[in-house]
């Protein structure tokens, strides 16, 4: 893993980049940079580990379905002017950010009492590319950095996807196989893939916050 090469590749693609030695330093930075606004948060173990929800809610309006389940929360997070998420992989080489969608649809819909769940499965992906004048922070530990696109895609499918599915009860074959089998399960949670080659034109800023610690899945 070459952090300096990754930073050069990201900045060369037009991403803003911040680099911190610890999660605490990164959380302090984000808590100071995001103030007096409305914030959406995607499903992210990294954001959860950093304790950002509790910190940001003290001086922002924060929408996160992990804390307040429901369609209203998802909608408000999608349209918030600031959005926080992570990525399942970031490439060192000609850097692309790979964000695999792991909203666990069955679990969310059980909480909501909803039987049809097609409309909620892309909330994290959509929010990362939707919004005029929006600022998106992609927060990732260095465990997410991969040498090239093929290895990043493999990590998204065979590491992050499998671990996310294993956190919940389900009948997906990756539960037992420990790797992606490109299944056709009705409860498959990895039905979409987003690759950010650069910042969307109408957005204010997409900033990648890299942390020299293993974080998330």
Distance CA(94)–CA(146), nearest Å, equals 11
How much is the pLDDT for 102? 44
What pLDDT score does 123 carry? 55
What are residue 113's phi and psi, to 5 degrees? 70, 30
CB 189 within 8 A of CB 161: yes
**91: alpha, beta or left, given left = phi > 0 and alpha = psi -120 to 50?**
beta
Q: For the chain, which domains are there?
A: 3-150+193-211 (3.40.50.10420)
Which residues on adjacent β-strands are paired with residue 98? 89, 195
Residue 114 has pLDDT above 70, yes or no: no
Encode pLDDT of 133-156 as tens digits: 999 999 999 999 999 888 888 888
Structure tokens at 54: 């509790």
User: Which residues are CB-contacts of 42 (< 8 A; sequence separation ≥ 6)?
Assistant: 77, 83, 84, 85, 86, 123, 124, 127, 128
For residues 78-83, average pLDDT: 95
Does residue 41 have a pLDDT over 90? yes
Q: pLDDT tens, 175-188? A: 788 888 888 887 77
- Give the mean pLDDT of 90-94: 86
Whether 117 has a pLDDT exceeding 50, the answer reads: no
pTM over 0.75: yes
């Amino acid at each position: 893993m070459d952090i300096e090469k990754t930073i050069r590749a990201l900045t060369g693609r037009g991403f803003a980049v911040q680099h911190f030695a610890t999660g605490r330093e990164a959380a302090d930075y984000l808590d100071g940079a995001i103030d007096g606004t409305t914030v959406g948060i995607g499903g992210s173990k990294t954001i959860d580990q950093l304790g950002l929800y509790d910190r940001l809610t003290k001086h922002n309006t924060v929408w996160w379905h992990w804390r307040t389940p429901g369609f209203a929360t998802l909608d408000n997070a999608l349209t918030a002017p600031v959005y926080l998420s992570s990525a399942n992989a970031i490439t060192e080489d000609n850097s692309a950010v790979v964000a695999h969608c792991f909203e666990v649809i069955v679990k969310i819909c059980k909480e909501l009492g909803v039987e049809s769940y097609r409309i909620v499965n892309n909330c994290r992906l959509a929010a990362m590319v939707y919004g005029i004048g929006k600022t998106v922070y992609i927060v990732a530990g260095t465990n997410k950095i991969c040498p090239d696109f093929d290895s990043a895609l493999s990590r998204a499918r065979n590491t992050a996807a499998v671990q996310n599915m294993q956190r919940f009860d389900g009948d997906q074959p990756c539960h037992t196989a420990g790797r992606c089998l490109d299944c056709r399960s009705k409860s498959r949670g990895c039905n979409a893939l987003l690759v950010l080659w650069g910042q969307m034109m109408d957005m204010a800023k997409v900033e990648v916050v890299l942390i020299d610690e293993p974080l998330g899945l």
